[in-house]
Chains A and B, each alone.
Chain A
């Protein structure tokens, strides 16, 4: 069984981004970029499925600029067998990415696609569901446990209020939640080996997909700042302030 794992290059999760002064976006020039954390979990899960013998090949894919190659190399170092990049300088929104991924799925014919539940830059939480819809495949979002059988997959999902388990017939789309697994560190020998693995490059035109953005970003602003707080010396002062100043208790 083949698994496709889409990954995204995003601003590293530890970076506190700044809004550009002209309000056209956030300043991501010269900031550290990494693989989206949820995608690392997806690559790890696919690799573990391969190590368990249930999966024969893991293909990592990414859509974006040429620099996304670095992200794919990371996926290859974790354990993906080969990679594909859909290269474009156009700003890609989830619907466009879902269409590109559908084209790659049509080409590769995997039984399972594992994505992260959301990217930490646009916080959209859409691509996996959209891909499932376009393929007319079933979906299991926010997965915290995945059990793969020959023709079905049983997934425990994190939902408001607890956990829910559903069973999907294959082929299917899964999106990962934080607690699905702990991604491994990539080792130097694996980074070296990853450089030799195949990385194919396509363009949206090759795949016949129109990637024009559907949403126009009119402006990007800083969130309203909170007014500076005060430090209180002890519990008595805290309670007094909450009662008489903030009037919340």
Chain B
């Protein structure tokens, strides 16, 4: 059984989400290969080769792969796919973009966002915003899978010594081109992998008030998150959104401030180890999942909390 993991990267660094996907791959077998498709991505391939458990790294380096366009990356994956029984992508925005394209080309079903590996062909995955867990079995010869990164502890980034094999990059499809990218700059830890997350909701009332969370996040070394209501109201950028359609997080500590706790939000954070909810409405659904709940006005509590830490 050979397993291919598609590396997530920005051509300079290996995204840690890849390590979670390798960990899921290790539950399937030991013949784990990693595909690094990029441009000038030698350093990424070297980082992938050092990951514990990786047997081989395939580096496809070329201009067509520079910006991760789905058409080209999928074609690159398909060029090596027949040699594998499982193809795993981390369930990031890039993985979700490319994986179904690969599956359809191979005429196989894709298993999205797996939470666990039950056997080589059976996996669990959440449905209905995480309100139910389905155990699904795939009869396809190649299993194309995206891995919910928060459900698997990352593989060690050191200890491996895989060989790097180079492969020619596919030709550009000519159907799509990259125009630009606008990435939010932040000194804070990455939301998806932070050990603590402080999230704000509509209760904050304005973008200025959202800055009240900065102090608390600094004290906790936490990433900032937001509910959809806060994002839609323009209080926070959309890549902070935690929930069914935003990021899925599972930190050690999740602090929900002024968030009511709609099921779509809970779907993105209810696997956090400890959940703290601060809300002035004692009936807010967020208290049903909170380990510690505090019914209070957040504008009074936040400065107090910051001082107490």
The interface residues of chain B lying within 8 Å CB-to-CB of A248 are: 196, 252-253, 273-274
Taken residue by residue from 153 to 176, chain A's Cβ proximity to chain B (1 for < 8 Å, 0 otherwise) reads as 010011111111111110010000
Give chain B interface residues in 251-309, CB to chain A under 8 Å.
252-253, 263-264, 270, 273-276, 287, 289-296, 301, 304-305, 308-309
B245 touches A216 (CB 8 A): no
A164 touches B103 (CB 8 A): no
State whether A93 and B109 are in contact (beta carbons under 8 Å apart), knowing that A130-B101, A214-B140, A226-B289 are contacts in the complex.
yes
A222 touches B133 (CB 8 A): yes
B177 touches A167 (CB 8 A): yes
B135 touches A221 (CB 8 A): yes
A217, B137: Cα distance in complex, Å? 6
State whether A165 and B101 are in contact (beta carbons under 8 Å apart), knowing that A17-B132, A160-B239, A248-B196 are contacts in the complex.
no
Minimum CB–CB distance for B112 against chain A, Å: 5
Residue B183 at the chain A interface, CB threshold 8 Å: yes
The interface residues of chain A lying within 8 Å CB-to-CB of B309 are: 239, 249
Minimum CB–CB distance for A60 against chain B, Å: 22
Give chain A interface residues in 37-86, CB to chain B under 8 Å.
38
Minimum CB–CB distance for B72 against chain A, Å: 10
A123 touches B128 (CB 8 A): yes
Minimum CB–CB distance for B264 against chain A, Å: 7
Residue A215 at the chain B interface, CB threshold 8 Å: yes
Neighbour of B70 across the interface among A121, A127, A141, CB < 8 A: A141
Q: Is the interface of B mostly helix, strand, loop or mixed?
A: mixed
Give chain B interface residues in 77-123, CB to chain A under 8 Å.
92-94, 96-105, 107-113, 122
The interface residues of chain B lying within 8 Å CB-to-CB of A157 are: 93
State whether A121 and B127 are in contact (beta carbons under 8 Å apart), knowing that A133-B104, A160-B94 are contacts in the complex.
yes
In the complex formed, the residue of B with least CB distance to A222 is: B132
Taken residue by residue from 114 to 141, chain A's Cβ proximity to chain B (1 for < 8 Å, 0 otherwise) reads as 0001101111111111111110011111
The interface residues of chain B lying within 8 Å CB-to-CB of A166 are: 67, 69, 176-179
Residue A95 at the chain B interface, CB threshold 8 Å: yes
Stretch from A104-112, A183-191, A195-203, A230-238 forming part of the interface with B: A230-238
The interface residues of chain B lying within 8 Å CB-to-CB of A144 are: 238
The interface residues of chain A lying within 8 Å CB-to-CB of B139 are: 214-216
In the complex formed, the residue of A with least CB distance to B308 is: A239
Total of A-B residue pairs, C-beta within 8 Å: 246
**Best-buried of B113, B126, B136, B252 by chain A (most CB within 10 Å):** B136
A232, B104: Cα distance in complex, Å? 51
The interface residues of chain A lying within 8 Å CB-to-CB of B161 are: none
Residue A192 at the chain B interface, CB threshold 8 Å: no
Interface residues on A, range: 35 or more
B93 touches A142 (CB 8 A): yes
B253 touches A249 (CB 8 A): yes
A223 touches B130 (CB 8 A): yes
A139 touches B308 (CB 8 A): no
In the complex formed, the residue of B with least CB distance to A137 is: B175
A160 touches B192 (CB 8 A): yes
State whether A163 and B182 are in contact (beta carbons under 8 Å apart), knowing that A138-B175, A142-B93, A242-B253 are contacts in the complex.
yes
State whether A159 and B127 are in contact (beta carbons under 8 Å apart), knowing that A231-B294, A235-B305, A238-B276 are contacts in the complex.
no
Residue A5 at the chain B interface, CB threshold 8 Å: no
The interface residues of chain B lying within 8 Å CB-to-CB of A125 are: 96, 100, 112
Residue A178 at the chain B interface, CB threshold 8 Å: yes
Residue B167 at the chain A interface, CB threshold 8 Å: no
Neighbour of A167 across the interface among B131, B176, B273, CB < 8 A: B176
The interface residues of chain A lying within 8 Å CB-to-CB of B157 are: none
State whether A236 and B132 are in contact (beta carbons under 8 Å apart), knowing that A123-B244, A229-B293, A231-B295 are contacts in the complex.
no
Minimum CB–CB distance for A247 against chain B, Å: 9
B176 touches A169 (CB 8 A): yes
Minimum CB–CB distance for A2 against chain B, Å: 19
Taken residue by residue from 125 to 158, chain B's Cβ proximity to chain A (1 for < 8 Å, 0 otherwise) reads as 0111111111111111000000000000000000
**Best-buried of B244, B245, B263, B287 by chain A (most CB within 10 Å):** B245
The interface residues of chain B lying within 8 Å CB-to-CB of A128 are: 100
A17, B70: Cα distance in complex, Å? 34
Neighbour of B109 across the interface among A138, A215, A220, CB < 8 A: A215
17 contacts between A and B (CB under 8 A): A11-B128, A17-B132, A121-B127, A123-B244, A133-B102, A159-B239, A160-B192, A162-B181, A162-B184, A162-B239, A165-B180, A168-B175, A179-B232, A214-B138, A230-B293, A231-B295, A234-B294
Apart from the given pairs A17-B131, A139-B101, A231-B294, 14 other A-B contacts in the complex at a CB distance below 8 Å: A95-B110, A120-B244, A123-B113, A129-B101, A139-B70, A144-B238, A161-B239, A166-B179, A177-B245, A226-B270, A226-B289, A226-B291, A231-B295, A246-B292
> Chain A: residues with CB nearer than 8 A to chain B?
11, 13, 16-17, 19, 26, 38, 93-95, 98, 117-118, 120-134, 137-142, 144, 154, 157-169, 172, 177-179, 214-223, 226, 229-232, 234-236, 238-239, 241-242, 246, 248-249
